[in-house]
Amino acid sequence: MKIFNTLTRKKEEFVPLEEGKVRMYVCGPTVYNLIHIGNARPMIIFDTVRRYMEYKGLEVNYVSNFTDVDDKIIKKAIEEGVSADEISNRYIDECKKDMNGMNVKPATTHPQATQEIDGMIEMITSLIDKGYAYAAADGTVYFRVAKFKEYGKLSHKNLDDLQSGFRALQVTGEEQKEDPMDFVLWKPKKDGEPYWESPWCDGRPGWHIECSVMAKKYLGEEIDIHAGGEDLIFPHHENEIAQSECCNGKTFARYWMHNAFLNIDNRKMSKSLGNFRTVREISAQYDLQVLRFFMLNAHYRSPLNFSAELMESSANALERIVTAVSRLKDIRESASAKELRDDEKQLLAEAAGFTAAFEEAMDDDFNTADALAAVFELVRFANIKAGEESSAAFADNLLLQLVKLCDVLGLIVEKEEEILDKDIEALIEERQAARKAKDFARADAIRDELLAKGIVLKDTREGVKWSRA
């Protein structure tokens, strides 16, 4: 399995620190609003990386944070007249709903910055003790960039060029810095802002220190993979490396992965251009599986252009897979012959080549576009080779192979059978009978069964009302 490492700018064979296990950190969103489709790309991409590693038998400890203290969160809280906690918790819940819709697996751990303040104070203290950070008169703590000689190794920026550029851009209020390049680790509180006590002042952490601390706590001082959007390479990930390596005295991350930008109709997404799209807005037009398919239909390091035409094309392509799966199910159920024939065994051996092509694509820096091409070759093969005369075992083998490959990509291609109104009513009657008989376990089981099928029950004075979620 080869990964393009941003650090070395080349594809490298992936060798985990601990055999059979992967420690992976992915920068999550700042939760001040509904997530947009730019946020969705790394979520989908790195979820797919995780799924493929698990498919290959690796145990993945996958950590993705929520930044829940930030200027944008505070601004939103002030606008609404509520606490910053209320804003961040609201949008964490909404983010999780969208992630579920995109079939993004929950992380092993989803840490929140505000719950890790003690660790941040501890790391900043260590950096000060080692001479890599200093406190200014007002309590602001800065990192000494010039003291870390490898600064710029991820972004491949020259330290001398950066220093001259920063001096030219120096702004008022930064005179207390020893060097214009130094960045903030801790900053004093402002009126109305959330704050925490620290040895330097009542305040809050800088953005960069948060991820260094959360990665260390949940994955260790050295990790296998650190990932995020390419906009985070500099300064966020560069600063993470500086903090972590100076504090811990070890290489922070072996492999750095970054997805390219997402444009809307060939223009950068922005609110000012009126082309800002949230995942929630997309979900009103399309099943979010279509958005996931769209994201995977290009290599993650290639810029991706979002448009209505491309989404329609993705919807149609995904439907082809879903239809093939449904057809194979029908063939399996109606087949007169159950066991594999000799000619079908040969065909299945041929079909195994599509799985090999899929794995070859994914082993080559997670080339999901080529992996999808292998899936469609399998769909075409199944449509041609499986028919009314096929055995149930043949259809079932092709079905399992197709569903398994799609599951690696996080694509749900098996349509759940929609429960009929008469079946809902029958289950509600059974539940009522169970309640009368004081069989509350059965009554609760029926409620849960219906809820799993998207049916919500409401007990009222007039009887049980139900609705489809």
Per-residue confidence in pLDDT tens, the chain, 469 aa: 999 999 999 999 999 999 999 999 999 999 999 999 999 999 999 999 999 999 999 999 999 999 999 999 999 999 999 999 999 999 999 999 999 999 999 999 999 999 999 999 999 999 999 999 999 999 999 999 999 999 999 999 887 777 665 555 455 556 789 999 999 999 999 998 999 999 999 999 999 999 999 999 999 999 999 999 999 999 999 999 999 999 999 999 999 999 999 999 888 877 677 777 999 999 999 999 999 999 999 999 999 999 999 999 999 999 999 999 999 999 999 999 999 999 999 999 999 999 999 999 999 999 999 999 999 999 999 999 999 999 999 999 999 999 999 999 999 998 776 677 788 888 998 998 988 899 988 888 898 888 877 788 888 877 888 887 6
Q: What is the pTM of this model?
A: 0.88
What is the C-alpha separation between 212 and 204, in angstroms, rounded? 15
| Residue at 76: amino acid letter | K
User: What backbone phi and psi angles, to 5 degrees, belong to 425?
Assistant: -60, -40
Cα dihedral 32/61/124/148 (nearest 10): -110
Decide if 64 contacts 27 (C-beta within 8 A): yes
What is the C-alpha separation between 425 and 384, in angstroms, rounded? 41
SS3 292: helix
pLDDT of residue 417: 65
What is the C-alpha separation between 116 and 66, in angstroms, rounded? 11
pLDDT of residue 29: 96
For strands 183-188 and 141-143, give the pairing.
antiparallel
pLDDT of residue 171: 53
Give 87's contacts (C-beta < 8 A, 6+ positions apart). Answer: 31, 32, 73, 76, 77, 80
pLDDT of residue 170: 54
pLDDT of residue 166: 57
Decide if 427 contacts 450 (C-beta within 8 A): yes
CA-only gyration radius of the chain, Å = 26
Decide if 130 contacts 247 (C-beta within 8 A): yes
Decide if 278 contacts 34 (C-beta within 8 A): yes
* Kind plus residue range of the DSSP H or E element containing 62: strand 59-64
